[in-house]
Structures are given as structure tokens and as C-alpha cells.
Amino acid sequence: MSAADLYWMAGAALTGLGVYGLLVSPHPLRKLLGLNLLGSGIFLIFGVIARRGAAAGLGGDPVPQALVITAIVVAFSATAIAIALLIRLHAEEGSASLDDPPAGNDAP
């Protein structure tokens, strides 16, 4: 197993961790962390694909590398909007929880 394959396995494990965080975390901000972890695991796998395409004196194929840079920026943009939505939700409801408030129990 080459070093690049090790990073592939790491990317797969991080994606799994992200899926777990997304499913299990009770708070939406924690779910967002899971989503970011999931994304970065996929990017890492993409990076191994770039690494395997190393040729012409380069450490990796520059095309997938450039795509990952774009992907990181787009993931950041989505995260920024999600956080702004959560902060607004928190300001309106007093909590950023996604659960329905229990009936007959006034929110603090």
C-alpha cells in the first residue's frame, strides 16, 4: 500500500465520520461540522486521484487540484450562509434547535 493509498483510506474514514456527525449531532452547528468533515474527506480522496496523476515533473495533476480549491471555496460559502441562517434562527427563537418546540411549553 502506497502513501497515497493511506490518504485515500483517511479520506474514506473522514467521510464516514462526517456522515456519523451529520446523523447523530443534536445541534445544527454540530451537523454543519459533520458536513464539513464529510466534504473534506471527499476532497482528500480527490487529492489522491490528483496525486496518482503526477506526471511531467509535477507532484500531482493540477486540474483536480484546481477543482478542489474551487470546491473548498464553495463549501465555505455554503457554510457561511448556513451559519448566518442559524444565527438568525437563534435570534428569532432563542435557540438554533431544529426540533419542534414541545406543545404547551413556552420557549424561554
Partner 1 sequence: MTQPVFDMMLIALVLAAGAWSILARSMMTAVIVFIVYGLLLALAWVRLGAVDVALTEAAIGSGVTGMLLISAAARFARDPAALRLPSLSSRALAALLASGVAVALGSLALLLPGDAPSLAAETMRALPESGLGNPVAGVLFVFRAFDTMLEKVVLLLALLGVWSLARDEAWGGAPALKPLVQPQGVLPLLARTLPPIGLTYGIYMTWAGADVPGGAFQGGTVLAAMWILVVLAGLAMFPKVTSPWLRWAVAAGPVVFLLIGFAGFLSPGLFLAYPEGYAKPLIVVMELALTLSIAVILGLLVAGPPAGREAR
Minimum distance of partner 1 from residue 15's CB (angstroms): 6
Q: Is 104 left (phi over 0), alpha (psi -120 to 50) or beta?
A: left
Counting residues that bind partner 1 (by CB under 8 A) gives 81
Q: Is 63 in the site for partner 1 (CB under 8 A)?
A: yes
Q: CA nearest 39: which of 62, 67, 65, 18? A: 18
Q: Is 40 in the site for partner 1 (CB under 8 A)?
A: yes
Q: Is 20 in the site for partner 1 (CB under 8 A)?
A: yes
Q: Is 104 in the site for partner 1 (CB under 8 A)?
A: no
Q: CA nearest 80: which of 41, 19, 35? A: 35
Q: What is the DSSP string of 43-87?
A: HHHHHHHHHHT--TT-SS-HHHHHHHHHHHHHHHHHHHHHHHHHH
Q: Is 47 in the site for partner 1 (CB under 8 A)?
A: yes
Minimum distance of partner 1 from residue 103's CB (angstroms): 16
Q: Is 35 in the site for partner 1 (CB under 8 A)?
A: no
The only residue of 12, 35, 105, 106 in contact with partner 1, by rule CB under 8 A: 12
